[in-house]
Amino acid sequence: MEQVMRDFFLFLSKNRGLTKVAKKYGLRFGAGRFVAGETVDKAVQVIQQLNSKGLDVTIDYLGEFVDNAKEANEMADNSILAIEAIGKNNLGSQLSLKMTSMGLDISEQLVMDNMRRILEAAKRNGVFVTIDMEDFSRCAKTIEIFKKLREEYDNIGTVIQAYLYRTEEDIKDLNQYSPNLRLVKGAYKESPKVAFPEKKDVDDNFKKIIKMHLLNGNYTAIASHDEAIIDYTKKLVEEHNIPYDQFEFQMLYGIRPERQLELVEEGYRMRVYVPYGTDWYGYFMRRLAERPANVAFVLKGVLKK
């Protein structure tokens, strides 16, 4: 049943019509738990609250189905506004963004132009930028773009997904760039031809790449709500005397907030992924797909209205 629900919500996340409806009616039916708000000012307020509790942040201006240059340029403009808000308010925050929102499905030149604008603004404001990973069809292109930009900028990282068969080789290949990587399990529905279909295999590969990247001496963000992965990382760090400033844990805004604070109290760096914007629907559906408990929370919210 859990897999059926996951597939159902992933299917809904790709529906353009429902995305338009969601934009029209705003953050309702529980989405506000996972999305900071529709404006950068709302996001700043949330970041300030999180920073006051010792939590670091990465902010993401949400965007789905960008299919023309005008929209891609507007997405880049909004990312720059977010960077400037981070600098102006002296926030403990980075920036995350997707290559499709920068025009990946339109042209690579458009992406590169937008990314250079963003990275220059980020450099001026002392902000680190992470390129989020999307579905398998865009994985190779995203990594190639990261490599090109990494040769020009040192304030950029990207994301690697444990559920893909190619991931171990990607970790080996990227090591020459001394990359700052966020390691995740993966949140898209993929074919068993390209991704491990069984959870145990994904978990095993996740542990493998965490160990590889940390022992390579590179900065590692372990993005997981899974206690087994968190415990594995803690033991690995102690066993190999890995300094605490070489890694961090990351979780999503609205998920396991109590555990986030516990990790801070234990002395670990904890970063919260904070999305905002009007185009929240696809992100919200993927969060519902990940955990059935999220669906129950939303239903409770709807029944109270």
CB 236 within 8 A of CB 59: no
Token pair 């629900």 is at which residue?
A: 5
Residue among 151, 138, 133, 77 at smallest CA distance from 108: 138
Catalytic residue list contains 132: yes
Helix axes 139-150, 167-174, angle to 10 degrees: 10
Residue 128, both tokens:
């680190």
Marked catalytic residue, from 56, 60, 170, 182: 182
CB 286 within 8 A of CB 10: yes
Marked catalytic residue, from 56, 60, 105, 132: 132
Catalytic residue list contains 231: no
Q: Is the dihedral of CA 204, 143, 287, 16 positive or negative?
A: negative
Report, as residue numbers or ranges, the catalytic residues: 132, 182
